[in-house]
């Protein structure tokens, strides 16, 4: 019995001790793992909170600065606008106060619908040599139509124009390869013009003798105008032959226009290009803008020419005057000779009869 009890004791004691030791190790390991997990989660949570807080702080900072920038830009634009307005007032008021004693009125272009009157200073405009340029057509009861025939270079062409018995203004070429004595045609004529070759977009048209080119300097242009005055001492009107490039060049055309005015010429714009700068230049000088309204013979048959003449008459009736341009073609002169019915409602005049 004693041995059995000893065996039982010896058997039971080793069973209990290992069980107690295993349970203690498991609980210790479990608690350590849980603590580690909580610590890691806590660290991640703190990092996330710090990052999120930093992001919110940046957003608040951007939001707080943006309105200030916008406001400053708005204020800057407003201040610039006010400054420009003040400067513009100074610019428009100051010259009037300084030039009050030396302003000269210029006569306006007389028109049924529009009357223009500008004030310009003597320094801005070269002195007129012969006359004031004022259209007179609307002062008369009957509308006026001026017809110009370009490209006249010989006596035969001039004789055919005169044979129509109509008031037609011939525009005569300066001496060139077509005729070196064309200027003699003007002798004894009371009503005529100069047909001046000017640079066009086609090289073949720029080969005529002494064609004015946009690259010419001021001295070259002025010399040419003085030469024209010597060749045609009684001439008062000049229109351009071709010239689409030259009249579209503001600098070149302004130089020419200034030189023409000094020599007592009136420039009649043939309007060979829609973007001609002549209207702007005449406005700068305070002059009436004189230009072709209708080309009558772009097609060489009588019916077409009559239709173009009717168009010119319609413009004259509406505005008080009109200017038509043709050429010394056989069909053109024939159409003009047979257009008496078309001219019933207008008065045919020479170009200088539109002016005083």
Task: Give the CA diameter of the chain.
Answer: 176
Beta-carbon count within 10 A of 169 CB = 25
Residues 279 and 331 in one domain: yes
Q: Which of 260, 238, 159 is nearest to 192 (CA)?
A: 238
**Residue 144: in which H helix or E strand, if any?**
strand 144-152
Judge whether 103 and 286 are in contact, CB under 8 Å. no
Residues 68 and 178 in one domain: no
Distance CA 219, CA 185 (A): 28
Domain CATH for 252 = 3.20.20.370
Residues 268 and 334 in one domain: yes
- pLDDT of 253-278, one tens digit each? 999 999 999 999 999 999 999 999 99
Residues 175 and 294 in one domain: yes
Distance CA 144, CA 317 (A): 8
- For the ranges 3-17, 104-118, 135-149, 283-297, the lowest mean pLDDT is seen at 104-118
Distance CA 198, CA 246 (A): 6
- For the ranges 133-137, 218-222, 302-306, the lowest mean pLDDT is seen at 133-137
Whether pTM exceeds 0.75: no
**Residue 242: in which H helix or E strand, if any?**
strand 237-242
Question: Residues 6 or more apart from 230 whose CB is under 8 A from it?
Answer: none
What domain count does the chain have?
2
Phi, psi of 102 (to 5 degrees): -120, 25
pLDDT of 54 strictly over 90:
no
pLDDT of 51 strictly over 80:
no
Kindly state the tokens that stand for 122: 């003597």
pLDDT of 243 strictly over 80:
yes
Residues 91 and 154 in one domain: no
Q: Which domain holds residue 66?
A: 1-98
Kindly state the tokens that stand for 57: 């702080």
Residues 177 and 87 in one domain: no
């Amino acid at each position: 019995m004693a041995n059995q009890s000893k065996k039982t004791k010896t058997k039971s004691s080793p069973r209990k001790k290992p069980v107690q030791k295993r349970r203690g190790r498991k609980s210790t390991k479990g608690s350590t793992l849980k603590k580690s997990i909580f610590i890691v989660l806590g660290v991640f949570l703190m990092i996330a909170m710090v990052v999120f807080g930093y992001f919110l702080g940046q957003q608040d900072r951007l939001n707080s600065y943006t309105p200030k920038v916008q406001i400053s830009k708005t204020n800057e634009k407003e201040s610039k606008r006010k400054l420009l307005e003040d400067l513009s007032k100074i610019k428009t008021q100051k010259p009037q106060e300084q030039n009050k004693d030396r302003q000269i009125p210029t006569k306006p272009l007389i028109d049924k619908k529009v009357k223009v009157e500008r004030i310009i200073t003597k320094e801005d405009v070269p002195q007129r040599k012969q006359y004031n340029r004022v259209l007179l057509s609307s002062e008369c009861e009957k509308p006026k139509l001026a017809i110009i025939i370009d490209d006249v270079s010989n006596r035969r062409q001039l004789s055919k124009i005169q044979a129509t018995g109509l008031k037609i203004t011939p525009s005569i070429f300066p001496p060139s390869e077509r005729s070196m004595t064309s200027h003699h045609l003007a002798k004894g004529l009371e009503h005529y013009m100069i047909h001046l070759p000017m640079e066009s977009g086609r090289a073949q048209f720029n080969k005529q003798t002494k064609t004015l080119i946009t690259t010419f300097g001021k001295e070259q242009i002025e010399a040419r105008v003085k030469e024209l005055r010597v060749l045609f001492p009684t001439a008062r009107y000049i229109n351009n032959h071709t010239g689409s490039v030259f009249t579209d060049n503001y600098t070149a055309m302004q130089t020419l226009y200034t030189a023409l005015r000094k020599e007592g010429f009136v420039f009649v714009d043939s309007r060979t290009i829609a973007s001609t700068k002549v209207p702007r230049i005449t406005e700068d000088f305070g002059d009436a803008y004189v230009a072709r309204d209708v080309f009558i013979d772009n097609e060489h048959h009588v019916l077409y020419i009559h239709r173009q003449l009717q168009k010119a008459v319609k413009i004259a009736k509406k505005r008080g005057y009109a200017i038509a341009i043709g050429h010394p073609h056989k069909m053109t002169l024939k159409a003009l000779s047979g257009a008496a019915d078309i001219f019933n409602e207008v008065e045919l005049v020479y170009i200088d009869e539109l002016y005083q």
